[in-house]
Amino acid sequence: MKRVIHFFYIAVVLLLLPSCGYNVRDVVALQDMKSHPVVFPTSLRMTIGGEYCDFCKIPEGIKLVVYVDSSVCNACVVSKLEKYHELEHMGNNKLHVAIIMNPKGGEEEIVLQELSHYEHFFPVFIDTSSDFLLNNPHIPRDNRFHIFLVDSSSVPVFVGNPSANLKMLKRFDFVFREISHK
């Protein structure tokens, strides 16, 4: 019975998504992504205010993961940290934000400099060796899939940027409330 419901859900999604700008490949990638837990490599280095914290680690529990690969403007991400900080506060200590930045070769110091000017002390994880994507081959390379909510077992349950618009924020809030009350 569970397989029938799952098949029905996928069929409905496949019918509806072409009107949303997604294609069948995106749906398959999304299903694959949601069927594997996310691995957080120990090689990620946490920074707070642009300074490394050697004894810090990825927080346990429900997390909004923001993965920033080397194709994205680092300064643009740093300028948007406040939005993610606000989302974390919305979660009433049940939501943690894990921002993982993979700067281009030689730009690690620039990223640390930009983070040092950020007025809130917000943890950002630096991934200079691309270990995050290497350990998570089920996460598509497409940047649309690089912001997602994981449950306490690190399985993605929502994919998309909740700060993109009010509709996404409401969807995110609904999913977050569902998993935080389990």
pLDDT at residue number 112: 86
Q: Quick one: 8 and 54 in the same domain? A: no
Q: Quick one: 87 and 115 in the same domain? A: yes
pLDDT at residue number 8: 47
Tokens of 73: 């403007």
Report the number of distinct structural domains present in the chain.
Answer: 2
Q: Quick one: 27 and 58 in the same domain? A: no
Q: Quick one: 105 and 28 in the same domain? A: no
Range of the domain at 137: 37-180
> Tokens 């997390």, residue?
63
Q: Which amino acid is at 151?
A: D
Global pTM reads: 0.82
Predicted confidence pLDDT, tens digits, the chain (182 residues): 555 454 544 554 544 544 455 578 888 888 889 999 999 998 898 888 778 887 778 888 999 999 998 888 877 888 888 888 888 888 888 899 999 999 988 888 888 888 888 766 678 899 989 999 999 999 998 989 999 999 999 999 999 999 888 999 999 999 999 999 87
Q: Quick one: 5 and 89 in the same domain? A: no
pLDDT at residue number 3: 53
Q: Quick one: 17 and 74 in the same domain? A: no
Q: Quick one: 109 and 173 in the same domain? A: yes
Domain of residue 86, CATH code: 3.40.30.10
pLDDT at residue number 1: 53
Which own/partner contact pairs does 109-113 have at CB distance under 8 Å and 24+ positions apart? 110/74, 111/74, 111/78, 112/47, 112/50, 112/51, 113/50
